[in-house]
Amino acid sequence: MRVLITSHSHPRVQNGGSEVASHALFERLRACGDVEAWYLGCTRSTAFQRAGQSITQPFSERDYLYTVGEFEDFKFANRDTGFARDFRLLLRTLRPDIVHFHHYVNSGLEAFACVREQLPDAKIVLTLHELLAICHQQGQMVTRPDGNLCRRSGPIECNRCFPEVQPSDFFLRTVYIRHFMGWVDRFVSPSHFLAQRYVEWGLPEHGIDVIENVARETAKTSAMLRPPRSPGDLTTLRVGFFGQISMLKGIEVVIEAATLLEREGRTDILFSVHGDDSNQPAVFRSTFRTQVAAFGDNIVFRGAYENSEVDALMADVDIVLVPSVWWENSPVVIQEALRNGRPVICSDIGGMAEKVISGQTGLHFPVGDARALAGVLKALAADPELRQALLRGVAERRQDDAFDAHLQLYRGLLQAREQG
């Protein structure tokens, strides 16, 4: 079996969840005896460009990198003629049986038609990593500018968020995206939530497989080996927040809950906040920093961290908090927390609610409700047995191997091709 994995980015360029997952899938495919695999990442940096070539190989023999040319971000149209030429050539050279796209940004939707044209027998798989096709607001399905959760997109609805864009243009955007998605043989979604949104948007329900992202193979770190504290140690509840310090990630909910607890004189619930706030607007950033500084020891801002440090950092918390006020599709931080044996307290919506089973691997609270979050934390602090039960739940959770599921999907597609 010959498989080409493409991603909108490359882990050597940027360390986002989907490029890490797609590259992990590629690495594991390479390790299989009967699979030939290649990876095509993308970058908008010109650092790796060679004059006259749009696709280069700066990292390894099986690793390609496309330097993005003219790209139309509204409808994900790749207008770069160099890519149209070089991608066709690459397809003819590698002759993959499976072309598995992760994302449609940067390579562009037309790449699907390109595969079909060049390799009529190849199967096209697309992993949907976010809701960009459905929502122009960075795929967040959160209204602009007021930040309310959005449950339905459409020309009229989207025009409300973007009055400068005509409803007819939103309609055309959708038609264009669907037109090219029509070439895809199989869709993969890392969560049921995300899959459901795409079905509501118009993808065929039976065409989407829900398969979790493939995790990067990591050596067991000291943190992962360090057992959670014994019941006797449970005098304090150490709550960890990991991720972007942003409004959508629910940082304001954390601050508000901490404020409520402080006013009640609670000193047994301690927050440590890990993440980067450097991309945030200046006002947001200074407000956040001022608020955190005003607290005593019960909330500490630890700043940005490298992905490789996350296991060690999680070792120092009892639970991980994911209070996002947008849907989240399949947050990496939940995977990381569960991998580290930490229960998760999260908002009761979207990919978060799906990935954390309330009462088993964590607890839910109503999205955006700081008082409810404070209540959940107090209950947990007061109930050592519940904490133990959640720890057990995390340890005993059933883990499907996402990689095997991918292999199975590819084999199924090729089998159907041979039969059909």
Partner 1 sequence: MSMMPPATQSTHGCIDFLSYSASLDGWLAGGWIDLSWDDRDEPPAYILEFGETKVEGEAVVCVFPRPDVRKIGVGVLLFMPGVSQRADAFQDAILIRDGRRFRLTASEPLDRPTEFEAIARTKSLISSAMRSSRRAHLLRLLNRPTFAGHDTLDTLQPPVFLELDAACLCPPAGLLLRGWFIDPFRSVASIRIRCGAESRLLDTDHWIRIPRADVRQGFSKQFGGLIDECGFLAFVGDVYSPGETVYFEVQGRLGDVAFKRVAQVRSAGVDTIKETLSNLELRYDELARGYDHVLGPAVAAMNDFRLMEAVDYKEMTFGDSPAHPRCSIIVPLYGRIDFMELQLAFFSRTLGRHHEIIYVLDDPTILRATEALATSCIARFRLPFRLVTLASNVGYAPANNVGLKLARGDYVCFLNSDVFPKTPGWLDSMVAVADARPEVGVVGAMLVFEDETVQHEGVAFEVLPEFAGWNFSLHPRKGRYPSEDESVQEVEAVTGACLMMPMALAREVGGFDEGYVIGDFEDVDLCLKARERGRICVVDRSARLYHLERQSQGGQQSSWRLNLTLYNAWRFQKRWPPAALEQLAQGESEGRAKKAELAGAAE
Residue ranges that bind partner 1, judged by CB under 8 A: 70, 72, 75, 77-81, 84-85, 110, 113-114, 117, 155, 166-168, 171-172, 175-176, 179-180, 182
**Alpha-carbon distance 178 to 183, whole Å?**
9
Least distance (Å) between residue 171 CB and partner 1: 4
Least distance (Å) between residue 69 CB and partner 1: 9
Least distance (Å) between residue 52 CB and partner 1: 15
- Strand, helix or coil at 18? helix
- Strand, helix or coil at 126? strand
User: What's the CA dihedral at 77, 43, 45, 88 to 10 degrees?
Assistant: -60
208, with CB counted inside 10 A (0-12, 13-18, 19+), is buried
8 Å CB contact between 298 and 254: no
Least distance (Å) between residue 168 CB and partner 1: 4
**Alpha-carbon distance 360 to 150, whole Å?**
28
Least distance (Å) between residue 141 CB and partner 1: 20
Least distance (Å) between residue 203 CB and partner 1: 18
Kindly tell me which of 80 and 130 has the beta carbon lying closer to partner 1: 80
Least distance (Å) between residue 183 CB and partner 1: 9
The tokens for 297 are: 């020891």
8 Å CB contact between 108 and 123: no
Kindly tell me which of 117 and 309 has the beta carbon lying closer to partner 1: 117
Q: How many CB atoms lie within 10 A of CB 142?
A: 19
Kindly tell me which of 30 and 179 has the beta carbon lying closer to partner 1: 179
8 Å CB contact between 325 and 342: no
Least distance (Å) between residue 182 CB and partner 1: 8
**Alpha-carbon distance 188 to 98, whole Å?**
14
Kindly tell me which of 171 and 295 has the beta carbon lying closer to partner 1: 171
Backbone torsion region of residue 138, taken as left when φ is above 0, otherwise alpha when ψ lies between -120 and 50, otherwise beta: left
The DSSP secondary-structure symbol of 325 reads S
Kindly tell me which of 107 and 272 has the beta carbon lying closer to partner 1: 107
Kindly tell me which of 85 and 392 has the beta carbon lying closer to partner 1: 85
Kindly tell me which of 176 and 327 has the beta carbon lying closer to partner 1: 176
**Alpha-carbon distance 187 to 198, whole Å?**
10
Kindly tell me which of 76 and 242 has the beta carbon lying closer to partner 1: 76
Residue 47, C-beta contacts closer than 8 angstroms, at least 6 positions apart: none
Selection from 348, 344, 363, 347 nearest residue 239 by Cα: 344
Least distance (Å) between residue 37 CB and partner 1: 26
Length of the chain: 420
Kindly tell me which of 64 and 176 has the beta carbon lying closer to partner 1: 176
Written as one string, the DSSP assignment of 281-305 is -HHHHHHHHHHHHHS-TTEEEEE--
Least distance (Å) between residue 163 CB and partner 1: 9
DSSP H helical ranges for 231-278: 251-263
- Strand, helix or coil at 276? coil
Kindly tell me which of 174 and 347 has the beta carbon lying closer to partner 1: 174
